């Protein structure tokens, strides 16, 4: 008999730490083995994540999610308080992959032309010339995206969805790979503009780093800061590798039972009593892409239901809207709580089972 173990169960084992086997309860032998040791990464991704962890301390889970988004070809939104390593994480990934990176610092007076570029008349040549903006880079780090006005935020929509920028009547293709890593301050901070649903939907994942564990923060202090550590990083992959990973990751096999599982979860969220707006079909596709990439970076050529369960919160958490307009972070009314409720009520399928 095969047992399906959820990722939430695996996290439970980490929390209970040194609890002896008699206190674990009714967990199966397969469950206990899975909880003792997390699924290892494929060698190249293990090197990439380990190198990044040597600069960004105590954020192993967030690093793996960012690498998953890279392979899936999806953009990442990192929401958290200033100073927890969001910008450092983006710079480290760019250096380890040998990719070009441009940083855009968002402020209320930033204009779309400051991001995209503009067309100007060159009197010497008698022609109009395109001056490309900082968005023309393989990695674009957008700092404090929600400090920009809605008009400026909208400048990213076409680039993130279609990989091109329209200047006047000319379409300018962006480099490949093109990847946006954006940070935003918590919505309660002053001087922020909430991102509209249409822009949030462009981000494959939304993650929060949180504060590092105490011992990791001590290690960070002993290292003297991140900037010197970033300079010591050496590339472990190339642009060609990234493009190859994306092609191979897209070929990961997905059992029909997993496809039905994703649709069932999405439908349950759309009809959840606390949810006004559930994940769209594009959101279902996003979860599928992320699950395939997650399987690929862990060395598998097939998706299992636990991949879907592991990624449901970072992929769908920012895509659902509550009844009443806002989530109450001080109660159980949060995207994660609603998703955990749905995941707990809908059993994971067994691979190969029929409709």
Per-residue b/e over 68-101, b at no fewer than 16 CB within 10 Å? bbbbbbbbbbbbbeeebbbbbbbbbbbbbbbbeb
User: Would you say residue 6 has pLDDT above 60?
Assistant: no
CATH of the domain at 46: 3.40.50.300
Burial class for 168, CB neighbours closer than 10 Å (0-12, 13-18, 19+): exposed
Q: For residue 192, what pLDDT is reported?
A: 82
Average confidence score pLDDT of the chain: 83
Angle among Cα 346, 302, 46 to the nearest 5 degrees reads: 105
Counting the structural domains of the chain, the total is 3
Question: Does one domain contain both 182 and 80?
Answer: yes
Element (H, E) at 162: helix 157-162
- Per-residue model confidence as pLDDT tens digits over 15-30: 333 333 333 233 222 3
Residue after which a domain boundary falls, among 233, 249, 265:
249
Question: Does one domain contain both 218 and 321?
Answer: no
Find tokens 């769209």 and name the residue: 280
Sign of CA dihedral 237, 184, 157, 198: positive
- Per-residue model confidence as pLDDT tens digits over 91-140: 899 999 999 999 999 999 999 999 999 988 888 888 888 899 999 999 99
Residue after which a domain boundary falls, among 218, 249, 280:
249
Residue-by-residue DSSP string for 30-70: HHHHHHHSPPPPPHHHHHHHHHHHTTSTT-HHHHHHHHHHH
Closest CA to 161 of 280, 289, 75, 284: 75
Question: Does one domain contain both 127 and 84?
Answer: yes
Question: Does one domain contain both 209 and 338?
Answer: no
User: Would you say residue 307 has pLDDT above 70?
Assistant: yes
Domain of 13, in residue numbers: 1-38
DSSP 77: E
Question: Does one domain contain both 46 and 188?
Answer: yes
Question: Does one domain contain both 209 and 341?
Answer: no
Task: State the pLDDT confidence band at 1, using cuts at 50, 70 and 90.
Answer: very low
Question: Does one domain contain both 243 and 347?
Answer: no
Residue after which a domain boundary falls, among 197, 222, 249:
249
Closest CA to 258 of 248, 250, 270, 266: 266
Question: Does one domain contain both 87 and 205?
Answer: yes
Task: State the pLDDT confidence band at 270, using cuts at 50, 70 and 90.
Answer: very high
Find tokens 């990847």 and name the residue: 179
Q: For residue 328, what pLDDT is reported?
A: 60
- Per-residue model confidence as pLDDT tens digits over 321-343: 887 666 665 456 788 888 999 99
Question: Does one domain contain both 221 and 84?
Answer: yes
Residue with more model confidence, 204 or 58? 204
Among 131-135, 191-195, 308-312, where is mean pLDDT lowest? 191-195
CATH of the domain at 332: 1.10.8.80
Question: Does one domain contain both 287 and 306?
Answer: yes
Closest CA to 306 of 11, 1, 24: 11
Closest CA to 99 of 214, 215, 240, 272: 240
Question: Does one domain contain both 212 and 300?
Answer: no
User: Would you say residue 163 has pLDDT above 90?
Assistant: yes
**Assigned token pair, 264:** 């069932």
Q: What is the pTM of this model?
A: 0.83
Q: What is the mean pLDDT of residues 185-202?
A: 82
Question: Does one domain contain both 156 and 238?
Answer: yes
Closest CA to 68 of 52, 87, 88, 85: 52
Share of the chain above pLDDT 70, in %: 84
């Amino acid at each position: 008999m095969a047992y399906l173990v959820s990722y939430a169960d695996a996290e439970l084992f980490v929390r209970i730490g040194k609890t002896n086997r008699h206190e674990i309860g009714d967990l199966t032998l397969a469950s206990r083995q899975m909880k003792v040791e997390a699924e290892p990464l494929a060698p190249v991704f293990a090197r990439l994540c380990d190198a990044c962890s040597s600069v960004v301390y105590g954020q192993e889970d967030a690093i793996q999610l960012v690498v998953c988004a890279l392979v899936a070809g999806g953009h990442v939104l990192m929401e958290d308080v200033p100073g927890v390593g969001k910008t450092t994480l983006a710079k480290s990934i760019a250096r380890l992959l040998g990719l070009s990176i441009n940083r855009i610092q968002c402020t209320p007076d930033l204009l779309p032309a400051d991001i995209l570029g503009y067309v100007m008349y060159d009197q010497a040549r008698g022609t109009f010339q395109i001056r490309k903006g900082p968005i023309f880079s393989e990695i674009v780090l957008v700092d404090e995206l929600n400090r920009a006005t809605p008009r400026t935020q909208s400048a990213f929509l076409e680039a993130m969805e279609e990989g091109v920028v329209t200047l006047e009547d000319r379409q300018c293709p962006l480099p490949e790979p093109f990847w946006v890593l954006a940070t935003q301050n918590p919505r309660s901070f002053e001087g922020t503009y909430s991102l509209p649903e249409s822009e949030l939907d462009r981000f494959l994942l939304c993650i929060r780093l949180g504060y590092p564990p105490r011992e990791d923060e001590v290690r960070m202090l002993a290292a003297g800061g991140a900037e010197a550590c970033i300079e010591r990083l050496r590339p472990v992959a190339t642009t060609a590798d990234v493009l190859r990973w994306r092609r191979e990751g897209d070929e990961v096999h997905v059992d029909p039972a997993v496809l039905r599982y994703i649709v069932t979860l999405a439908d349950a969220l759309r009809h959840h009593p606390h949810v006004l707006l559930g994940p769209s079909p594009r959101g279902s596709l996003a979860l599928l892409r992320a699950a395939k990439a997650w399987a690929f970076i862990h060395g598998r050529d097939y998706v299992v239901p636990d991949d879907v369960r592991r990624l449901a919160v970072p992929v769908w958490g920012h895509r659902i809207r509550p009844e009443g307009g806002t989530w109450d972070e001080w109660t159980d009314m949060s995207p994660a709580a609603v998703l955990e409720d749905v995941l707990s009520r809908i059993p994971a399928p067994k691979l190969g089972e029929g409709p």
